[in-house]
């Protein structure tokens, strides 16, 4: 069941979404070659808490850290550890904050120093996929239109669209209905009503879309070992368009 938010609830959601946005901007100033993903996670946790918010990922289904940090061929849900971030890596930082009784959720993929041009392009196109995906999105749009547009853009570059992870509704819970896949058929799926808050999050691979779960049960990597990028925002569907809360 999709829980459509009242204007009051949307007001309350602005703050956790603002914290997520500011945390990602902070990550942009701190992330660099030589640090471990765990060191970055510690900084993220401190920042989120200093904003009076809780890092929603911490403890979620037993997840042991405050952010999902996924390097290169890791697509999503990387557990921060002793891995050292190196020049030429791409690092997806996906984080959620809980405040005012609501969650916010966003992800950016950071390029560390000089990155191979084809990988840099993947990161840029993945961000473009988000904006293509929400093109024309407003009250009444069928949810698979988003995925259709994401997929069309990604595949026009020969990229693989990750199937096994999707965007989602968000609110009092980090994951609510509806599911928001990054693939689909135009004109199909639930029509989104005004006041629906969703996370649109293209996950796009330089090679094939197949992924496998790591033994830790969280991290997912591409089967062919090619890099993948991820870009996500929390947004409200409005009568005449969308309002992005984490930008
Ligand atoms: N933002 C991530 C998602 O929507 C959060 C995953 S929960 C965690 O999938 F426990 F893995 F952190
Ligand atoms: Co999400």
pLDDT tens digits for range 214-234: 999 999 999 999 999 999 999
Buried b (16+ CB within 10 A) or exposed e, 108-123: bbbbbeebeeebeebb
Q: How far is the CA of 173 from the centre of ligand 2 (A)?
A: 11
* pLDDT score, position 31: 98
**80 falls within a domain:** yes
Copy the structure tokens of residue 52.
Answer: 């009076």
Among candidate residues 231, 188, 192, 223, the one with its CA nearest the CA of residue 207: 223
In a domain, 1, yes or no: no
| Closest ligand 1 atom number to CA of residue 175 | 4
In tens, the pLDDT along 134-157 reads 999 999 999 999 999 999 999 999
Other Cβ atoms less than 10 A from the Cβ of 40: the count is 23
Q: What is the mean pLDDT of residues 115-119?
A: 98
Query: Is 94's C-beta closer than 6 angstroms to any atom of ligand 1?
Result: yes
Assess if residue 130 is contained within a domain: yes
pLDDT band at 185 (very low <50, low <70, confident <90, very high): very high
* Ligand 2 center–CA 199 separation, angstroms: 6
> Considering the chain, what is the average pLDDT of its residues?
98
Domain annotation covers residue 2: no
What predicted TM-score, i.e. pTM, was given to this entire model?
A: 0.98
Q: Which atom of ligand 1 is nearest to the CA of 232?
A: 1
For position 144, what pLDDT does the model report? 98
Q: Is the CB of 96 under 6 A from ligand 1?
A: yes
What's the structural domain count of the chain?
1
Does 76 map to a domain? yes
Q: What is the pLDDT of residue 49?
A: 99
Domain span at 161: 7-244
pLDDT of residue 130: 99
**Domain of 36: which CATH number?**
3.90.230.10
């Amino acid at each position: 069941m999709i829980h459509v938010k009242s204007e009051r609830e949307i007001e309350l959601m602005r703050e956790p979404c603002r914290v997520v946005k500011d945390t990602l901007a902070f990550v942009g100033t701190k992330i660099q070659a030589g640090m471990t993903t765990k060191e970055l996670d510690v900084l993220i946790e401190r920042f989120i808490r200093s904003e009076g918010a809780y890092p929603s990922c911490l403890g979620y289904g037993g997840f042991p850290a405050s952010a999902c940090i996924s390097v290169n061929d890791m697509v999503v849900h990387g557990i921060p550890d002793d891995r050292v971030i190196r020049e030429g890596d791409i690092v997806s930082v996906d984080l959620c904050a809980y405040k005012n009784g609501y969650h916010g959720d966003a992800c950016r993929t950071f390029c560390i120093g000089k990155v191979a041009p084809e990988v840099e392009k993947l990161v840029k196109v993945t961000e473009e996929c988000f904006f293509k995906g929400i093109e024309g999105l407003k009250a009444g749009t069928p949810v698979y239109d988003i995925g259709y547009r994401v997929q069309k853009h990604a595949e026009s570059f020969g990229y693989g669209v990750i199937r096994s992870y999707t965007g989602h509704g968000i609110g009092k819970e980090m994951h609510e209905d509806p599911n928001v896949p990054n693939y689909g058929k135009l004109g199909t799926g639930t029509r989104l009503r005004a006041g629906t808050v969703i996370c649109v999050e293209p996950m796009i691979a330089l090679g094939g879309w197949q992924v496998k779960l790591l033994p830790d049960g969280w991290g997912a990597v591409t089967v062919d070992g090619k890099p993948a990028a991820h870009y996500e925002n929390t947004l409200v569907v409005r009568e005449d368009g969308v309002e992005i809360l984490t930008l």
